[in-house]
Amino acid sequence: MTTTTGPFTPGAPSGPGGTERRSKKNATGTTNSSIDSNPSESPLEWLSQILWPSGEARLQAAGEEHTAATPNAPGNRQWWASPSADQAEILVPADPVPAQAAVRRYHDGFSIKKRARSWAAEAVMHLPGMPDRLLGSHLVVVEGHSSDRTLDLLQQLGELVGQPDLRVAVSLARPKSNRKPVLQMIAPDGSGLGWAKIGWTDWTTNLISNEAFWLLKNSDGPLVKPVLLHDVDLCGHRVVVTSGVMGSRLPRRGTSDSPNIELVAAIAAMGTATSSPVTGLPWWTSVTDVLGAADPAELDVIRHTADSVAGRLITSGAWHGDLTPWNIMSPSPRSAQQGLQVIDWEFAADGVPLGFDVCHFHTQVATELRGMDPDQALDYSARRSPQDLASLGVDPHNQIATWQLYLVELMRRTLALRQAGFGTENVHQGAAAARRLNRIHQGRPKADRKA
């Protein structure tokens, strides 16, 4: 395994917030960086330039002349696209056996509608000839072939994992700063080989490098992490390969209403436990590093929040950075796995106030599972977080302060994006956090702001 990982402080120059990855021109003269700045770019064109940087090969919708996967074409060069071939969000191998493995992972989604859709899709894959009849218009194929194998990322990835006939399902995601190809690697017989994330800009490269760094850290208790298999450069891109996801996502209700406190504590213990004024924490350095992107009102809010907790000793440790029910996998009944597997460590960091994961869990549950707008989600988080912070052992005098500092973290994320040159018009939680903190400070007498 080749590793080139290192520690990451969110918002610092070494993390997301640097300049874009140096552009690579393909045969058409466009560049990867231009794709990142153009959200209307075809997802197939975007992915093609990453997988085949020479421009000699590209993905395209097969068209009406193809009504089914071509039997003589390589199985690892054809996909069924969802929701359509032109605007693909997911590519599934156009081969029923590995396709079954690809769609099966959606069975544990939180929406009954999504679960039903994935069950139906898997059932279709079992019926001879039915996938071609129903999905022929969704076919995506590779046109052309890279003359240099070192410029064919799929071929390189297959050789890396010892499967020349590697099949992959691809999550393309919508255009945003964190957008990156995520590949589910599948053998022709349907067995899972793991996952690969491709960093194609400085921002996304730093994210997956940070994930690799945290996957190598020791952990105890109920915490289980994917195994880092490879951390390499392929076709000029950083590629992080991890073991497969075990078990299923937590159910929508019940265990997803509150985080597992033992799990949160185990994550915190991966870092260095300290107790200091907030301005002495590494996390606060990540805040000050992005203040140049703040407007006067945002600076005022952050300054007042720092003043309000001055003199307090804040306990800190590590945090996952995106602890949500959909990033926590519970073991299946037949699995030998013990504990809960936590995935997607891209935003993990050390030196962060203890309890941020609790606050983030409730905020994201309110947003994604309960359909609340950002202001409502913060109200929900404010109601639900104190009890769990108490269970985690956060000092009763610091529970409100911890939640307010978490709001500063939401602002910090927005400022980091702005500092890196990304648009933040559609990033609403940071703005909601600023509004909430502003109301708090306006309603507090000046004499009490440092209490």
Does the residue 25 lie in any domain? no
- Give mean pLDDT, residues 297-309: 96
CB atoms within 10 A of CB 209: 22
Does the residue 417 lie in any domain? yes
pLDDT tens digits for range 267-289: 999 999 999 999 999 999 999 99
pLDDT on residue 118: 59
pLDDT on residue 34: 33
Percent of the chain whose pLDDT exceeds 90: 62
Q: Residue 7 pLDDT > 90, yes or no? A: no
Does the residue 443 lie in any domain? yes
Same domain, 170 and 233: yes
pLDDT on residue 339: 85
Same domain, 318 and 422: yes
Same domain, 117 and 232: yes
Same domain, 225 and 275: no
Domain edge (last residue) among 221, 242, 263: 242
pLDDT on residue 19: 29
- Give mean pLDDT, residues 218-224: 92
d(CA 311, CA 112): 49
Percent of the chain whose pLDDT exceeds 70: 75
Residue tagged 């600023």 (tokens): 434
Q: Residue 349 pLDDT > 70, yes or no? A: yes
pLDDT on residue 68: 55
Does the residue 130 lie in any domain? yes
- Give mean pLDDT, residues 364-380: 95
Same domain, 232 and 328: no
pLDDT on residue 8: 28
Q: Residue 112 pLDDT > 60, yes or no? A: no
CATH of the domain at 257: 3.90.1200
Same domain, 39 and 152: yes
pLDDT on residue 369: 87
Same domain, 277 and 393: yes
Same domain, 398 and 321: yes
pTM: 0.84
Does the residue 28 lie in any domain? no
Residue tagged 């209403």 (tokens): 257
pLDDT tens digits for range 94-109: 988 888 888 766 544 5
Does the residue 206 lie in any domain? yes
Q: Which two tokens stand for residue 1?
A: 């395994």
Per-residue confidence band for 408, with pLDDT thresholds at 50, 70 and 90: very high
CB atoms within 10 A of CB 199: 22
Per-residue confidence band for 395, with pLDDT thresholds at 50, 70 and 90: very high
Same domain, 219 and 348: no
pLDDT on residue 447: 40
Residue 297 CA to its chain's centroid (Å) = 30
Angle between helices 374-392 and 429-442 (to 10 degrees): 70
pLDDT on residue 33: 33
Domain edge (last residue) among 210, 242, 274: 242
- Give mean pLDDT, residues 117-138: 64
Q: Which of 200-214, 416-430, 437-451 has the lowest mean pLDDT?
A: 437-451
pLDDT tens digits for range 18-69: 323 333 333 333 333 333 444 446 899 999 999 999 999 999 998 755 555 5
Same domain, 52 and 174: yes
Does the residue 89 lie in any domain? yes
Same domain, 268 and 236: no
Q: Which of 124-128, 308-312, 411-415 has the lowest mean pLDDT?
A: 124-128
pLDDT on residue 95: 87
Q: Which domain holds residue 224?
A: 35-242
d(CA 317, CA 332): 30
pLDDT on residue 189: 93
Check residues 311 and 363 and name the one with the higher pLDDT.
363
Q: Which of 67-81, 165-179, 197-211 has the lowest mean pLDDT?
A: 67-81
Same domain, 338 and 387: yes
- Give mean pLDDT, residues 287-300: 97
Does the residue 10 lie in any domain? no
pLDDT on residue 332: 62
pLDDT on residue 37: 40
Q: Which of 4-18, 56-70, 230-244, 329-343 has the lowest mean pLDDT?
A: 4-18
Check residues 233 and 174 and name the one with the higher pLDDT.
233
pLDDT on residue 35: 34
pLDDT tens digits for range 148-195: 989 999 999 999 999 999 999 999 888 889 999 999 999 999 999 999
Domain edge (last residue) among 242, 276, 298: 242
Structural domains counted in the chain: 2
Check residues 26 and 418 and name the one with the higher pLDDT.
418
